[in-house]
């Protein structure tokens, strides 16, 4: 059955419900479930109608339903992800270096249309994958995220030396996010979004020197867990 929402004064919900209803009318044989994720799914954000709507539309089969798209509808930005059920479940079973930024989309959703309870299956698949994960899997993923952060930080430092301030700030932001992701992986913590990741790890506003220190500590912790960030050519070529 469809979920009855409580936020009737929020224009984002109005738009989300209209999109869900229109998709079901146009693709009645294809739509398995429709849900929101992100701030609306948590039900405690203060977006006041100004934020975007993260909308997930799940189809029975690949290549059916509308295409994924991002559009502004009646002043509300809608980010529509369309994916087949089996593909989404396969994504939920993956543990990648970006896990702290993606897990919330599997675990926290609010249904607009879910007659079979498929969203519970999605959540259970992801939580089951986490329960089966070995510590080394999180550490391996953290090392991959650390490489992203280290590369972004090095790039930011070079750009700053060349007085390319705007680009340096962008790369520094990328380094902050990667460092936050490493923290999430090492502690098995996932975040609502990128901003939440940086805030909760205390990296908001961290400057070049502070990020370098964070990356150095993370490198030492990864090495202590048996996944050093530096290695030999043989290490690189050995599975």
Statement to judge: residues 158 and 170 lie in one domain: yes
Residue 5 in domain: no
pLDDT in tens, 181-233: 999 999 999 999 999 999 999 999 999 999 999 999 999 999 999 999 999 99
Last residue of some domain: 101, 132, 163? 132
Q: pLDDT band at residue 5, thresholds of 50, 70 and 90?
A: low
> How are beta strands 53-59 and 31-37 bridged, if at all?
antiparallel
Residues 77 and 156 in one domain: no
Which residues, listed in sequence order, are joined to residue 84 by a DSSP beta bridge? 59
Q: Which pLDDT value is given to residue 1?
A: 40
Contact 154, 168 (CB under 8 A): no
Residues 125 and 183 occupy one common structural domain = no
106 in the same domain as 39: yes
Mean pLDDT of 87-115: 97
Do 21 and 66 lie in one domain? The reply is: yes
pTM: predicted TM-score of the whole model, two decimal places: 0.92
pLDDT digits (tens, 9 = 90+) for 116-143: 999 999 999 999 999 999 999 999 999 9
Last residue in a domain, options 132, 160, 188: 132
Q: Is residue 199 part of a domain?
A: yes
Closest CA to 34 of 50, 51, 21, 46: 21
- Average pLDDT of the chain is 93
| CATH code for the domain of 55 | 3.30.460.10
Instruction: Record the tokens describing residue 28, joined without a space.
Output: 């009645």
Our count of domains for the chain comes to 2
Give the range of the structural domain holding residue 150, as residue numbers without chain letter.
135-237
With respect to residue 48, please indicate whether it lies within any of the assigned structural domains.
Answer: yes
Residues 26 and 128 in one domain: yes
Structural domain includes residue 216: yes
pLDDT tens digit string along 139-158? 999 999 999 999 999 999 99
**Are residues 225 and 127 part of one domain?**
no
- The answer to whether residue 1 is domain-embedded is no
- Same domain, yes or no, for 159 and 77? no
Residue 6 lies in a domain: no
| Cβ(36)–Cβ(51) below 8 Å | no
Widest pairwise Cα distance in the chain: 60
Cβ pair 206, 178 in contact under 8 A: no
Q: What span, in angstroms and rounded, lies between the C-alpha atoms of 51 and 232?
A: 47
Q: Looking at 132, 164, 187, which one is the last position of a domain?
A: 132
Could you tell me if 96 and 44 lie in one domain?
yes
């Amino acid at each position: 059955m469809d979920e009855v929402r409580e936020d009737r004064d929020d224009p984002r919900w109005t738009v989300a419900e209209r999109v869900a209803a229109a998709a079901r009318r146009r693709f009645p044989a294809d739509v398995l479930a429709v849900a929101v994720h992100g701030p609306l799914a948590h039900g405690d954000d203060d977006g006041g109608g100004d934020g975007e709507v993260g909308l997930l539309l799940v189809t029975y089969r690949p290549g059916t339903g509308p295409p994924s798209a991002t559009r502004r509808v009646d002043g509300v930005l809608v980010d529509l992800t369309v994916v087949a059920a089996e593909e989404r479940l396969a994504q939920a079973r993956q543990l990648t270096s970006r896990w702290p930024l993606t897990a919330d989309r599997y675990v926290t959703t609010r249904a607009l249309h879910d007659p079979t309870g498929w969203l519970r299956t999605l959540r259970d698949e992801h939580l089951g994958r986490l329960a089966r994960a070995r510590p080394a899997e999180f550490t391996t993923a953290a090392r991959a995220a650390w490489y992203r952060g280290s590369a972004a930080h090095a790039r930011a430092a070079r750009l700053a030396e060349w007085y390319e301030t705007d680009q340096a700030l962008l790369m520094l932001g990328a380094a902050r996010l990667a460092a936050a992701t490493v923290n999430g992986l090492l502690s098995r913590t996932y975040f609502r979004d990128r901003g939440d990741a940086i805030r909760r790890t205390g990296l908001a506003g961290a400057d070049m020197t502070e990020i370098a220190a964070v990356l150095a500590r993370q490198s030492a912790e990864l090495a202590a867990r048996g996944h050093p960030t530096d290695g030999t050519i043989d290490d690189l070529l050995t599975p």
